[in-house]
Amino acid sequence: MKWFVKCMKQYTDFGGRARRTEFWMFVLFNFIFAIVASILDSAIGSKIGIIQIGVIGLIYSLAVLIPGLAVSVRRLHDIGKSGWMILINLIPFIGWVWFIVLMIKDSQPGENKYGPNPKEVRA
C-alpha cells in the first residue's frame, strides 16, 4: 500500500526512476481498487453510457490516470528508456506485450541519465 500512496503523492513527477516493486505494487492496488469501484457501481446501479462504466469507476479512473502515467515513465527511465516509449501501448497487442516485457526488466545498474539507481540509493 505504501507504494501506491507514494505514486499518488508523486503524481506530477515524470523525472527520475521507479523500481519494479513500485510500479507493480501500484498496478496491483490499482487493479484491486478498480474492482472495488466496479462492485460499488453495480451495487448502487450507477452505470452510465454505452461503455457501462459507473460514476465511482469513472472518478477513480480519472484520479489515477496521471499518477499511472508518471510511474510508468519513471519505470521506463529505470531501465534506461525514454518516457516516450510509453506510446508503444498504442500498437494493439504487440505493443502491450512489449510494454509488459519492458516493465518486467531489471533496473539498469548504477546511475543513468535519469538519475541514480533507486535500488542502490538508501534514504
pLDDT in tens, 82-92: 989 999 999 99
Residue whose grid cell is 478498480: 34
Tell me the residue range of the domain where 34 lies: 2-74
53 has pLDDT over 70: yes
Kindly provide the b/e burial profile for residues 37-51, where b requires at least 16 CB atoms within 10 angstroms of the residue's own CB: bbeebeeeeeeeeee
Number of domains in the chain: 1
Tell me the whole-structure pTM to 2 decimals.
Answer: 0.85
Confidence of residue 111 (pLDDT cuts 50, 70, 90): confident
Q: Where are the beta strands (DSSP E) in 1-123?
A: 47-48, 53-54
Would you say residue 10 lies in a domain? yes
Query: Contact, 1 vs 28, CB < 8 A?
Result: no
In degrees, rounded to 5, the angle at the alpha carbon of residue 69 between the alpha carbons of residues 41 and 119 is: 115
The answer to whether position 103 is within a domain reads no
